[in-house]
Structure 1
Amino acid sequence: MRRVADHLDIPELERRFRTCPDAVEARHVQVIWLLAQGHTVGATSEVTAFGTRWIEQLLERYNASGPDALANGRRRNGLKPSLLTAEVLEVVRLRLADPPPDGGLWSSRKVADVIAAHLGLERVLPQRGWEALKALGWSLQRPRPRNPKSATAEEAQAFKKLADAVAEEAAAHPGVAVEVFCTDEHRLGLKPVLRSVWAPKGQRPTALGHHRFLWLYVTAFVGPATGETVWYLTDTVSKPLFADLLDAFAKAIGAGPDKRVVLLLDNAGWHTLPNLVVPAGLRLVYLPPYSPELQPAETLWTLVDEPIVNTFVPNLDRLINTITERCTNLTTRQPEISSRTNFAWWPANRVPS
């Protein structure tokens, strides 16, 4: 018979066992209640299904620390650590505005050091630093490349020239439809196009590749409101060639006296005036400098690339045939194209009343 400290009498142990709301803690109390009645460790083990060693540990804890030692220690698992109070998180948030002391990059370890310094502790586990970052809504992200000459966020947000141009065309040509398109080029070649793909776990895909510097240019004209696309493949880019593409595009969609088309494009040298022949019925509107995120046509290239992703293309003829088939297929997928390109701020087409 094991000695049970008299922190609680037997009736009180029984009451706590039968009324405890936590099932694990109730069984811990049951162990002490049975031992206090004179049951052996072995008999208690048979009743509770606890191992004898665990029963002995519970008894040692109860004798040393009283009823609080019987609490379910796992109840706090998954809760926010008490170390990360609102005050501590605010200190971390303000400190993250500047680089860490070593001038490098912030990490869980360095954030934990900030917490330790604020609380006067010798050290804090890196896990607390990670939890602080998550609590502040931070995540590990790879920056999006951006040209230093690109438009500022304020300039990009204030970009309204396209909507203004549509309104002006509608006012200047009453009773005539006004449609809004955009255009961009995509350069492909015989260099491998690598992308993450789904594959069985433990079977890493391989992609054959042989770098050869032969190029194919894909020019897309897309109407985001409808998903209508017109595609051209060329082996180069130039201002005279782009003028020919504009002329072919205007004829393909019927731009002219009965349909005005506002066309959004970037400031590539072969896109710009002067010396660029613009067909009747087309009005060009240029994006802010170095702002590809405002170009809906940019979202098409991942679709165009799919047939050659992680695939060895032996020659340029094969590439041309593959991309021709792909672009032909994409012309039939207007709802999908529109869902990608019809940005929230994109102006609607004007239909004559």
Structure 2
Amino acid sequence: MASAVQLRTDYSASDLRRLAAASKHANQSRRLLSLAAVLDGMDRAEAARIGGMDRQTLRDWVHRFNALGPDGLRDIRPKGHPPRLSKAQLAELAEIVETGPDRRVHGVVRWRRLDLRKVVADRFGVAYHERTIGKILKAIGFSHISARPRHPGQDPKVMEDFKKNFLRTLNAHVGHLSKGRRIEVWFQDEARIGQKNGIVRQWARRGTRPRQPADQRYDNAWLFGAICPARGVGAALTLPYIGTEAMQMHLDEISTMVARGSHAVLLLDRAGWHTTRMLTVPKNITLIFLPSRSPELNPVEQIWQYLRSNFLSNSVFETYADIVDAACEAWRSLTENPETITSIGSSQWAHIGHS
């Protein structure tokens, strides 16, 4: 029978119990208590049971303790396989993903895991399963998300210049106002709400494919909406048509929502019914037109997305009146939560400090 392995003598039983009490590792604590019992002279089989182990396992931990001290009693975490792609290769992969595929070269217009699997194999000589490619993408900061539309004729420089020079543009439009007049920044847009409605993502059990009603009819109304993010307020009309007359009614409605003694600058796109000289702009509103083909500068676009996702999609409207009711109820739900308007609509470049 093998003789008992002697414990190192630079720790007392009291020292080991104190270390066990302070340890954040449960397994290390119970091993320390077993060794403390050994130092107190307890039979090793009994001491092993204190730590929930047999005598041979206790002997192994005694060897670890003698060699490494209390730290040697912690669990050994397997390190797993070393990464097969270096940090430089992962950075290159991230750049490939961000740049996107070339349809003429790669044959696709968006990266799929199976496409990137081939790219990784061809460029780095490493073969991964598609699921592993997905895990790698998440590890380097990517998510599988929907892209936002962008007009092909859009000029990013024009958009950046507009944001950079917004305060100068603002002053040029309202410089005639009396000093100290409060200025409110508003944004305006229109959205079609109709029977041909969208279907949005929803939570469902994995492996199932939920169904939602999809109407094939085309009756619709127009929701004219405007928001002032700084105040968390909005003004909207649901109308059966779009055009100059409808826009005039909306301007008049916005005018009633501007705070008393304030002046509103209304940012909007260059639709024909916005720019026509047939409009009579209320005295407490000044129009500022956004650059062409730049819906990203108008946060009302995100308001539409919010309303469709939360109140209008996955629905069937039997009549025009149902469409109007749904649009009005969605807008009321929005305006009942001013913080939502502020959260969605606030743009750092359009913040003027005293709105």
Is TM-score (shorter-chain normalized) higher than 0.5? Answer: yes
Q: Is the 8 A contact 1:226 1:338 kept in 2?
A: yes
Counterpart CA distance in 2 for 1:343 and 1:138 is 24
CA shift, 1:252, in A, is 4.1
1:265 alignment partner AA:
L
Q: After alignment, is 181-190 or 160-169 more displaced? A: 160-169
Q: Which residue of 2 aligns with 1:37?
A: none
2:246 alignment counterpart: 241
TM-score where L is the length of structure 2: 0.66
- Aligned equivalents of 1:204, 1:86: Cα separation in 2: 38
Counterpart among 306, 309, 312 of residue 308 in structure 1: 312
Equivalences for residues 203-214 of structure 1 within 5 A: 204-214=209-219
Q: Percent identity?
A: 25
Pair 1:178–1:93, CA change in 2 (3 A): closer
Q: After alignment, is 275-284 or 162-171 more displaced?
A: 162-171
Structure 1 residues not aligned, in runs of 5+: 1-9, 16-22, 24-45, 51-71, 117-122
Instruction: Kindly state the Cα deviation for residue 349 of structure 1 after the two structures are TM-superposed.
Output: 6.0
Match of 2:199 among 194, 215, 231: 194
Listed as ranges, the matches of 1:1-353 within 5 Å are 75-77=78-80, 81-89=82-90, 99=101, 102-104=106-108, 106-116=115-125, 124-126=127-129, 137-152=141-156, 154-160=157-163, 162-168=166-172, 171-173=175-177, 174-199=179-204, 204-253=209-258, 258-305=261-308, 306-348=310-352, 350=354
Deviation at 1:319, TM superposition (A): 1.7
- Residue aligned with 1:217, SS: strand
Indicate the SS of the match to 1:290: coil
Query: What SS does structure 2 have at the residue aligned with 1:289?
Result: coil
Partner of 1:27: none
Contact 2:193-2:327 within 8 A present in 1 as well: no
Contact 2:197/2:313 (<8 A) preserved: yes
Q: 1:323 to 1:142 in 2, by over 3 A?
A: closer
Letter in 1 for 2:118: R
Following TM superposition, by how much is the alpha carbon of 1:295 offset from its aligned partner in structure 2, in angstroms? 0.6
SS in 1 for 2:189: strand
Structure 2's unaligned 5+ residue stretches are 7-26, 28-52, 58-74
TM-score by length of 1: 0.66
Per the alignment, in what secondary structure is the counterpart of residue 261 of structure 1? strand
Assess if the C-alpha contact under 8 Å between 2:187 and 2:228 holds in 1: yes
Deviations 1:4-33 (A, max 9, x none): xxxxxx99xx89xxxxxxx9xxxxxxxxxx
Query: Aligned AA for 2:349?
Result: W
Report how many aligned residue pairs link the two structures. 285
